[in-house]
Amino acid sequence: MLLLLSPAKSLDYDTPLPPKLPHTLPVFSEQPLELIEVLRRQSPQQLSELMGISDKLAALNVARYEAFSPRFTATNARQALLAFNGDVYEGLQARSLDAEDLDWAQQHLAILSGLYGVLRPLDRMQPYRLEMGTRLETAHGSNLYQFWGSRIAEHLNQRAAKQPAGERVIVNLASQEYFKSVDLKHLKPPVVECAFEDYKNGAYKIISFHAKRARGLMARFAIQRRARSAAELEAFDLEGYALAPASSTPARLVFRRKTAD
């Protein structure tokens, strides 16, 4: 089973890392450098308009692109699972995972990325900002979906093929913006989506903040349970969520809670 997550805009490169934390390198090495060369041609104003960000953030990311190196070291990079710091990753609480948890996550978790394509939890990552939905024109097309093409799906196929035959399934915990980067025409394993709904104003609905945190909670649940199938995720019960069987299908598991935390 492979679990897909979105990255986060917020990054943490300041909190000290655990001692002797293992690391790997991103599976795609040439493509990030190609994108960085395109991004380096953007002025702060152009980047601000392209990404819809403030001048301050644009200047920060221009500096990041300029500093980006083909060499990933302990000085300029850190493991992706401990670098991302948004709502999903607050739910996942990676810093409290032990070595065996991280090893399992390394084999079963894939973080989709506009710049890196796919990151494993222990892949070293240099700081960046490049959302998958950015309409960045490259030699491959007018946006990042065209840039990545079928590469991400093919990588997931390769990873899934290493799993036991009965465990080759993709569990989508990523946003639609990022999941669209997976070319379903080339993806071989079946996909199971997890949706998280909270009760508000007389109805169950997806509330972005809570849903993002719940995706991280589900990833943590799967990691600590060493889940081998989507069916095992049906027992997910963290922070008041429970499976809603009547609203679920084999391809879409819906989890609900009455009172949001």
CA–chain centroid gap for 125, Å, is 13
pLDDT of residue 232: 97
Q: What is the pLDDT of residues 164-191, one digit of tens each?
A: 888 899 999 999 999 999 999 999 999 9
Give the Cα separation of 110 and 190 in Å (integer): 16
**Which DSSP helix (H) or strand (E) runs through 59?**
helix 55-67
Nearest residue to 207 (alpha-carbon basis) of 68, 81, 87: 87
Every domain of the chain and the residues it spans? 2-27+77-257
pLDDT of residue 159: 95
Backbone angles phi, psi at 166, to 5 degrees: -80, 0
pLDDT of residue 114: 98
pLDDT of residue 166: 85
Give the Cα separation of 186 and 199 in Å (integer): 37
Ranges of residues in the chain with a pLDDT under 50 are 260-261
pLDDT of residue 261: 47
pTM reported for the whole predicted model: 0.96
Q: What is the pLDDT of residues 25-63, one digit of tens each?
A: 999 999 999 999 999 999 999 999 999 999 999 999 999
